[in-house]
């Protein structure tokens, strides 16, 4: 399971304020905490108005000086990507292209630098309506990217998580993921799951349970907060149960390293 740390996102109020001040220590701290918590890659979003081109490159340099893991550049601005991608010391990911015509302006930049790519199931018509719509949009994205020379192993389809409170989106998303991975063996599935709980109480419970259900249907990457120990423990256990952890080696290693927490006491 590819864990992409979500916290360096300048559209969040506190992070945006730190970016405005160019607070280097704030971002170094965020990067180090996510890496030490088990993130394999860090999402980097420099989306401040009129600053993204300069800010994204500033963040790339700063974060890479603090941690030695790859970056996921969260931007749809071709100029910002053109400036930032060559600065990446390890092969990055770009989040994200979609089936919207305006987003394909990114294609020349992506073809030049060949990062891994998150393909978001958004079309010109907007958010997907159900299973068939998601699968059709995913198919168009995958077919076009592979025709442009991208390997299936470099494509991460994001099926667009929508609020459960507005319809049976959880069930639809799981079915969509299963169909996409069946149709395109070797493609990856990524998601930011927090939208599923919007408008409902105890959001953390829904988010974490939904992530595990998606893993059972084919999800193998997620943009999450790796500092959430319970979430990380759940992911490690679920990978073992799904047969993604040969001989439970990662599970046992996590236990020995103290990453599975203490066993609860049993009272009789």
- Residue 227 is predicted with a pLDDT of 94
Name the residue among 174, 259, 261 with its Cα closest to residue 3: 259
Alpha-carbon gap, residue 234 to 241, rounded angstroms: 10
Dihedral of alpha carbons 75, 154, 89, 32, sign: positive
**Three-state SS annotation for the chain:** CEEEEEEEECCCHHHHHHHHCCCHHHHHHHHHHHHHCCCCEEEEECCCCCCHHHHHHHHHHHHHHHCCCCEEEECCCHHHHHHHHHHCCCCCEEEEEEECHHHHHHHHHHHHHCCEEEEEEEECCECCCCHHHHHHHHHHHHHHHHHCCCCHHHEEEECCCCCHHHCCHHHHHHHHHHHHHHHCCCCEEEECHHHHHCCCCCHHHHHHHHHHHHHHHCCCEEEECCCCHHHHHHHHHHHHHCCCCHHHHHHHHHHHCCCCCCCCCCCC
Alpha-carbon gap, residue 221 to 60, rounded angstroms: 21
- Residue 262 is predicted with a pLDDT of 65
Alpha-carbon gap, residue 200 to 189, rounded angstroms: 25
pTM beyond 0.85, yes or no: yes
| pLDDT tens series, the chain, 268 aa | 999 999 999 999 999 999 999 999 999 999 999 999 999 999 999 999 899 999 999 999 999 999 999 999 999 999 999 999 999 999 999 999 999 999 999 999 999 999 999 999 999 888 998 999 999 999 999 999 999 999 999 999 999 999 999 989 999 999 999 999 999 999 999 998 888 999 999 999 999 999 999 999 999 999 999 999 999 999 999 999 999 999 999 999 999 999 998 655 545 4
- Residue 268 is predicted with a pLDDT of 43
**Which residues have C-beta within 8 Å of that of residue 36, sequence separation ≥ 6?**
none
- Residue 263 is predicted with a pLDDT of 52
């Amino acid at each position: 399971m590819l864990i992409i740390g979500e916290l360096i996102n300048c559209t969040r109020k506190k992070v945006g304020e730190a970016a405005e001040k160019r607070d280097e220590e704030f971002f170094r701290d965020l990067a180090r905490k996510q890496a030490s918590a088990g993130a394999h890659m860090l999402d980097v979003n420099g989306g401040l108005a009129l600053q993204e081109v300069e800010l994204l490159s500033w963040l790339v340099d700063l974060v890479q000086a603090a941690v030695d893991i790859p970056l996921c550049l969260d931007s749809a601005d071709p100029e910002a990507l053109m400036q930032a991608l060559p600065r990446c010391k390890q092969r990055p990911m770009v989040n994200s292209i979609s089936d919207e015509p305006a987003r394909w302006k990114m294609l020349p930049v992506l073809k030049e630098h060949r990062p891994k790519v998150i393909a978001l199931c958004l079309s010109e018509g907007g958010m997907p309506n159900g299973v068939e719509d998601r699968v059709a949009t995913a198919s168009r994205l995958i077919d076009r990217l592979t025709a442009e020379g991208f390997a299936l192993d470099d494509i991460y389809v994001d099926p667009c998580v929508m609020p459960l409170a507005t319809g049976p989106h959880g069930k639809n998303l799981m079915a969509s993921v299963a169909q996409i991975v069946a149709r395109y063996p070797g493609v990856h599935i990524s998601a930011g799951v927090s939208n599923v709980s919007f408008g409902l109480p105890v959001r953390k419970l829904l988010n974490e349970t939904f992530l595990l259900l998606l893993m059972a249907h084919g999800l193998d990457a997620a943009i999450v907060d790796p500092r959430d120990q319970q979430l990380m423990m759940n992911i490690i256990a679920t990978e073992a149960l799904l047969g993604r952890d040969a001989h439970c080696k990662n599970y046992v290693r996590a236990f020995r390293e103290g990453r599975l927490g203490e066993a609860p006491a049993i009272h009789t």
